[in-house]
Amino acid sequence: MRAFWLLALASCVSAPTPAVTLARPPARAVTLPLPAARPCVVEAERFTRQSPLRLLTRSGEAFAEVRFADHVALAIEMKSTLEVTTRGVRLVGPARPDLLPLRARTAHVFRGILAPGGDTPLAWAAAGGGAIAIAPEPDARIAWADGPPFETVACDDVAMESSLDASDDPSGADRVALRAGDTPIAATPGAAPVAVLRGALDVLVTERRGADAHIVWNVSGGALDGARVFGWIDAAAIASPHVGSMLAHGRTVAGMEATSDWTGCDADHPLFVEIGGRVERVGEVLAGTRVRSARPAERGLVRIDLIGPEMRADPPEVALLPGASFAMSAADAERCR
């Protein structure tokens, strides 16, 4: 009997639970979204150009030119954009360095021999991280040994307009002319040339060391206007003393005119341009701007003449290219009289 009870008791006791090992899921790499890189934005108030700035539609077709603007903003990134606010409109489209070169705001030297001035146009490209790459534009009077000297600078180092003076006229320097042909120039005496100067240029000789001479070329006119080129050349490339000439540069100043009893747009309204059989939106007509509607355009729009705000420049800032017309919806044009 006792054996029976022991057997019954054993049957009531649960067998020990075997240990269970849980497999850990493989660790997953967590990728946090990186903050979007901010583009380099270069702005200018009361923007003035001697040569007109050509504006493009979003598809890249030129439709207008401006010489003066209240505000211009250039955002440099993979697809750079230009925003121009003037004469009561805001125009937005793609930007190209050949249409809007920048200027050096702070001192900079390319490959040890070229310092751009405030009048020297610079090509540009996005370099990432808010920085940009710049280089002097091509000039037939200088050929670079290893291609265009693009260098990366901070966004604050450039501007649309600059008063930077890069010229140098050392006392006691000899004014001479180089021999016609090619003159290699190096950053230091005896070093490999970084560029070749071409033609009988007027330069200053500031120092001589044996067969080498240090020169300064204050550039006037052309793509390197306002720049200073300096470095070491073979003294045999010097032809004879020569007195160079200086060019004077002027700037056109626009007048202003006003009209009393002015109303204009009740708010900002979309602005389109019709060119080449296509219609594209190019910005907005700003509140307070008056327009005059003309004949119908494509897509139910009406062509307009842009009269402008109450205070406006004379001559007008925005000049449409041949074959281009501004357009708005008929309802919006009625609200801008």
pLDDT tens for residues 147-182?
A: 999 999 999 999 999 999 999 998 889 999 999 899
Please report the pLDDT score of residue 37 as a whole number.
65
Please report the pLDDT score of residue 240 as a whole number.
64
How sure is the predictor about 310, in pLDDT bands with cuts at 50, 70 and 90?
A: low
C-alpha closest to that of 50 among 101, 84, 92: 101
Whole-model pTM: value is 0.76
Domains recognised in the chain with CATH numbers:
40-94 (no CATH), 103-159 (no CATH), 174-241 (2.30.30), 257-334 (no CATH)
> For residues 164 and 120, is the Cβ–Cβ distance under 8 A?
no
- Joined tokens for residue 77: 């990134």
pLDDT at 14 over 50: no
Please report the pLDDT score of residue 270 as a whole number.
93
Distances (CA, A) of 128 to 31, 60, 81: 21, 23, 15
Please report the pLDDT score of residue 315 as a whole number.
55
- Joined tokens for residue 165: 């003076």
- Joined tokens for residue 84: 């121009």
How sure is the predictor about 318, in pLDDT bands with cuts at 50, 70 and 90?
A: confident
Please report the pLDDT score of residue 128 as a whole number.
82
| Torsion, Cα of 128, 69, 88, 39 (10° steps) | 10
pLDDT at 317 over 90: no
Q: How large is the average pLDDT for residues 101-113?
A: 96
pLDDT at 262 over 70: no
Report which secondary-structure segment, H or E, holds 128. strand 122-128
Please report the pLDDT score of residue 337 as a whole number.
77
pLDDT at 85 over 80: yes
Please report the pLDDT score of residue 165 as a whole number.
96
At 202, the amino acid letter reads D
Q: Which residues have a Cβ under 8 Å from the Cβ of 199 and sit 6 or more positions away?
A: 141, 178, 180, 181
Task: Tell me the pLDDT tens digit for each residue of 219-234.
Answer: 999 999 999 999 999 9
pLDDT at 50 over 90: no
CA angle 129, 135, 137 (to 5 degrees): 140
- Joined tokens for residue 98: 């050949």
Please report the pLDDT score of residue 336 as a whole number.
86
Task: Specify the range with the lowest mean pLDDT, choosing from 1-5, 247-251, 300-304, 329-333.
Answer: 247-251
Mean pLDDT (the chain, rounded): 83
How sure is the predictor about 25, in pLDDT bands with cuts at 50, 70 and 90?
A: low
